[in-house]
Structure 1
Amino acid sequence: MIATEHSIYRLQGLANGEVALYSDEGAKIVIRRERIIEVECDEYRVKCKRYHVQAEERAGFETPMLSTSQALTAKGPISGHGGVTINGGDGAVARFAGDIKHQGATPAQRRGGNQRHPAKWTQEPDTFRAVRRTG
């Protein structure tokens, strides 16, 4: 057990049974009642070979940006309520497997124009490409 009697560093507001580890710069780990662990810091780093989170109900991230330096795999649908953007790099290809469904009006429909499908999807080995229709 490590203790300090210097009151300016002592964490306030802990309930009976709660435990805290904290620094003089304000970083802290608090083990709270009801099996809650809070971590507060400027940067949180984990270095390991594998990192596994098993959340029975859900896992949430409240952040303006979430990124990965490599691949991202989802075993369910990916929803984008603010839109979805796919940007390719050098030689990158967007690949789709299964049906591609569209909901909502196209720009031509919103302008009151005649709805025509100027492109159709054709399947080639390992990729789809848009092919311009004629006639």
Structure 2
Amino acid sequence: MNNMARLVRDQVARVMRGFRLPFRAVSARNIHGKLIGVQMEGLSGESVSGELFQHYGFSSAPQPGAEYLVVAVGGKSSHSVVVASEDGRYRLKLRDGEVSLYTDEGDYVHMKRGRVIEVVTDDLVFKVKNKVRFETPLVEMSGDQHTEGSIKADGEIADHTRAMKKDRDIYNSHDHGGGAKPSPLQ
């Protein structure tokens, strides 16, 4: 081997000694603040602290035991960032093309094939300042409905017996056996 090749090889080896390849780790605990810090254990048993990098608008705090892909910035384990996290214990079974958000408690939003979105939780609360509008030909509900305010309908309202218009017609036509019609009419 000539001198130039040996010099290049030695220089590359010197640089590589200061560089650490990405590695897998397991979550031990989170440190909540402006950024989410994580304590984790590398596969070789080493204890590593780092920062959980996340996409804008999305935030998660994985449970202990979640798996991480960790990059040591500048090759230094003391400046590690988690660039991906995974926890197969709670992940939903998906078909190709589907997407989900899920928690360890069983809550999830599942965007399924066939353009169906399923939301499963115990309580769902919307905090909306002005209005919620459903642009759909039908809204179905399997349980009771409770409304604290008024109900207004531009169309007909009906129950299992008849429509309110039919009730108005019955009321407006009664005359108590030949007396006056009700006033005012409904």
Query: Mapping of 1:79-98 within 5 angstroms?
Result: 79-81=158-160
What SS class does the counterpart of residue 101 from structure 1 fall into? Answer: helix
The secondary structure found in structure 2 opposite 1:100 is: helix
Residue matched to 1:77 = 156
Bigger share in helix: 2
CA distance in 1, matches of 2:109, 2:180: 56
Instruction: Look up the match of 2:146.
Output: 67
C-alpha distance 10-76 of structure 1, shift in aligned 2 (>3 A): same
How far residue 32 of structure 1 moved from its aligned partner, in angstroms, is: 0.9
Matches within 5 A, 1:17-56: 17-48=97-128, 49-55=130-136
Map Cα deviations across residues 81-110 of structure 1 (whole Å, 9 max, x no partner).
Answer: 0689xxxxxxxxxxx99x92229xxxxxxx
Instruction: Give, in whole Å, the separation in 1 of the partners of 2:104 and 2:178.
Output: 64
**CA RMSD between the two structures:** 3.4
Query: Is 1:6 matched up with 2:6?
Result: no
Q: How many residues align?
A: 99
Structure of higher RCO (CA pairs closer than 8 Å, 6+ residues apart): 2
User: Is there any run of 5+ residues in structure 2 with no aligned partner, and where?
Assistant: 1-54, 61-83
Q: Per the alignment, in what secondary structure is the counterpart of residue 114 of structure 2?
A: helix
- Number of the residue aligned with 2:183: 122
Give the 3 Å change call, closer, same or farther, for CA 30–118 of structure 1 in structure 2.
Answer: farther
CA 1:118/1:38 → structure 2, altered by over 3 Å: closer, same or farther?
farther
More strand by share: 2
Larger Rg: 2
**Aligned equivalents of 2:131, 2:183: Cα separation in 1:** 39
